[in-house]
């Protein structure tokens, strides 16, 4: 109950290293051949569905936050970044509904180590409760830099962005 209230107040939950190394490697291999920024066919792979979407920690957190009737995603988005890159602007995803109710979530998955220099997502705690302007120079963002296999969950309307990436290489991030 305490963790649920914390997510409702802050707008996010980090679940470090909950996906196995094998599933992380298979995900990166799958993404190397994905041509679309919406590789939703990965959802149909049993190893991905069981290892990521239904990982006990992730599915348990979603169930605790949304209730037993939650549904599995039908759309997967790839936020692959070819680093280095400038920081993205703060934004909420379209169709955001604002208020204290927690009815919609975004779930992010890092299949690889994602340190600060690879431009991890930043979230702005408590920005999901009331409609806000993305034009303000926001401060106080929290980095989601994490080891491989990390899943983090946010309230759907939370302000978020890709942080500046000073490293080189591909940063993989899947979101549903």
Angle at 4 between CA 99 and CA 6, to 5 degrees: 75
What confidence tens digit (pLDDT) does each residue in 64-116 have? 999 988 889 999 999 999 999 999 999 888 777 777 778 889 999 999 999 99
pLDDT at 140 over 90: no
Tell me if residue 21 falls in helix, strand or coil: helix
Alpha carbons 17 and 158: distance in angstroms, whole number: 23
Confidence of residue 138 (pLDDT cuts 50, 70, 90): confident
What confidence tens digit (pLDDT) does each residue in 23-68 have? 999 999 999 999 999 999 999 999 999 999 999 999 999 999 999 8
pLDDT at 28: 98
Alpha carbons 73 and 45: distance in angstroms, whole number: 13
Neighbours of 23 (CB within 10 A): 20
Residue 8 · residue 102 · CB < 8 Å? yes
Q: Two tokens at 71?
A: 């549904």
Alpha carbons 93 and 80: distance in angstroms, whole number: 17
pLDDT at 134: 65
Neighbours of 97 (CB within 10 A): 12
Instruction: Indicate the pTM of the whole model.
Output: 0.94
Ramachandran area for residue 54 (φ above 0: left; ψ -120 to 50: alpha; else beta): alpha
pLDDT at 94: 78
């Amino acid at each position: 109950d305490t963790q649920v209230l914390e997510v409702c107040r802050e707008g996010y939950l980090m679940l470090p290293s909950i996906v196995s190394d094998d599933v992380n490697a298979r995900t990166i291999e799958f993404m190397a051949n994905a041509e679309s920024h919406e590789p939703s066919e990965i959802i149909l792979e049993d190893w991905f569905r069981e290892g990521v979407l239904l990982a006990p920690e992730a599915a348990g957190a979603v169930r605790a936050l949304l209730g037993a009737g939650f549904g599995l995603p039908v759309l997967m988005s790839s936020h692959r970044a070819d680093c280095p890159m400038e920081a993205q602007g703060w934004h909420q995803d379209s169709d955001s509904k604002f208020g204290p109710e927690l009815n919609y979530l975004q779930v992010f998955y890092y299949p690889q180590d994602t340190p600060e220099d690879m431009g991890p997502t930043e979230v702005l705690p408590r920005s999901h409760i009331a409609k806000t302007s993305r034009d303000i120079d926001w401060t106080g963002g929290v980095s989601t830099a994490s080891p491989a296999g990390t899943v983090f969950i946010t309230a759907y309307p939370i302000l978020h962005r890709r942080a500046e990436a000073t490293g080189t290489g591909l940063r993989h991030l899947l979101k549903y």
